[in-house]
Amino acid sequence: METLKEKAAIVLGAAGRDNMGQEIAKRFLRAGAKVMVAGRKEDALAEFAEANGCAYALCDITDKAQVEALVEKTVESFGAVHIGVNATGWGLMKPFLETTPEELTAMTALQFNGPFYFFQALIARMTQGGSIIQISSATATIMLENHAAYMGTKAGIDHVVRAVANEFGARGIRVNSISPGLTDTPMTTGAFSMPKMVEAFAREYPLGRVGTKEDVAEAAVWLASDACFMTGQNLQVNGGLTLRRNPRSAEIMAAISG
């Protein structure tokens, strides 16, 4: 069903082969959208665009000028921009006291400043209303050890989502975030190479399994569609994980060693 027919979308963070951004872009294309995929790796973007019949652009989300140029290129290519998805992220796992100033600066640039720039650039060009979707994380709500910089920046931009939704709702612009839990993507390859670790996480999910990229992509299609009457919300697409908790590090190690 082409629920996004005639919509023009940007998916930023789609430069990793088979990552969450690429899955969202494929699902948008099946729903009838015109899609611009973007990120920092040209080879992966070009390969995806050729295979799936969409456009691509290089963009480093931490560079405000590049983000603005991406939105302008999308408008020039498609005549408008109706949907913007930010799926960038860096899964830094580091003890709190060992996190360096350089890592903290890089994390803030990628997961707070960059999305802020993206929202600004989108809103400046969303003259016909639209939908902005930020990929957040269940760990913006619940704890995961050795993940403080990641969690803090995701939680911070979730609050910006609420502020922007409140300010620009009168223009027909919806702004929401999606919070997956542990999901099989290139960023979590290490975890998924250890089945016992995945089982330790799955035990905490009321629906009995960890999430997939497809789960997130389906939610993104609904948030992007005109059928969505929701804004300023963090959609917990994680099988109920946030009703419970992530396993502790000691529990994960015991599962792996057991």
pLDDT tens digits, 120-137:
999 999 999 999 999 999
Average pLDDT in the 38-56 region? 98
Question: Is 0.75 surpassed by the pTM of this model?
Answer: yes
If DSSP codes are grouped into helix, strand and coil, which group holds residue 177?
Answer: strand
CA 230 centroid distance within chain: 18
Range with the lowest mean pLDDT among 106-120, 147-161, 241-255?
Answer: 241-255
What is the token pair recorded at 122? 């989108």
Phi, psi (deg, nearest 5) at residue 85: -120, 130
The pLDDT of residue 109 is 98
d(CA 239, CA 258) in angstroms, rounded, equals 26
CA dihedral 28, 82, 184, 114 (to 10 degrees): 150
The pLDDT of residue 258 is 67
> What are the pLDDT digits (tens) for 184-213?
887 777 777 788 888 989 999 999 999 999
Range with the lowest mean pLDDT among 66-75, 114-123, 143-152, 185-194?
Answer: 185-194
The pLDDT of residue 189 is 74
What is the token pair recorded at 150? 């990641």
Domains, the chain, ordered by start: 8-185+211-240 (3.40.50.720)
Average pLDDT in the 61-82 region? 98
pLDDT at 252 over 90: no
Number of H helices, E strands in the chain: 10, 7
